Amino acid sequence: MQIAILLFDRFTALDAVGPYEILCRTPGARTEFVAERVGPVANDLGSLSLVAERTLAEVTRPDIVVVPGGPGQGAQMENEAVLGWLRAVDATTTWTTSVCTGSLLLAAAGLLTGRRATSHWLSLDRLAALGAEPTGERFVFDGKYVTAAGVSSGIDMGLGLLGRIAGDRVAQSVQLLTEYDPRPPYDAGSPEKAPADLVAEFRAGRPPATVTAPSS
């Protein structure tokens, strides 16, 4: 089984590494980071680079595709090299997945039309405009399409997907290995829970300094 994780300039690191850390432990799976060109790909803040080991042209029939989001997603929305690759590999994938604004790329490729899906909470309207049916769930299965909410939600999605692929016991093993028993010291992880004025600042495009909201 081949798992391909797409990288592009200004992706958000945890969008990719969260599901990676879970899914790379799928029994019998080989996980590969792919991009238009091999070599280091810099994240949204430019202070982290993950190495793409394969070009899109080299990875033609992955069983699972994972598409992260991040501010760089905007520049990919009309990049036919990426959108065409997503359409082509989707024809034979077992699972086509995304985290955060990665779902906007899947939607732009025409893969989520009429499907229940999710994205970063600030991008749900945009997802609807691209033809999907947004939900507020943490992660959503619609057939073989699995989409997750913002950034950290890819860990939850990874565990849910691993359970479907390899069974509950393997998923529980990986949860135990990664000690995923979250205890956030704050309770502001969704627009329903965060202080209302903070949510309003994000919606107005004025998040606090150094906090870059996802672009469209």
Q: Which of residues 16-55 bind a second copy (CB under 8 A)?
A: 17-18, 20-21, 24-33, 40, 45, 47-51, 53
91: contact with a second copy by CB under 8 A: no
| Beta carbons of 147 and 96 less than 8 angstroms apart | no
Nearer to a second copy, 5 or 83 (CB): 5
4: contact with a second copy by CB under 8 A: no
Angle between helices 153-166 and 13-23 (to 10 degrees): 20
205: contact with a second copy by CB under 8 A: no
Nearer to a second copy, 47 or 204 (CB): 47
**Region of residue 25 (phi > 0: left; psi between -120 and 50: alpha; otherwise: beta):** alpha
Residues 155-184 interacting with a second copy (rule: CB under 8 A) = 155-156, 159-160, 163, 168-184
CA distances from 59 to 65, 69, 80 (A): 10, 20, 16
Shortest distance, position 208 Cβ to a second copy, whole Å: 5
CA distances from 185 to 116, 182, 188 (A): 31, 9, 9
Residue 100 appears among annotated catalytic residues = yes
How far apart are the C-alpha atoms of 114 and 132, rounded to whole Å? Answer: 5
- Work out which of 9, 63, 90, 207 binds a second copy, going by CB under 8 A: 207
Catalytic residues: 100
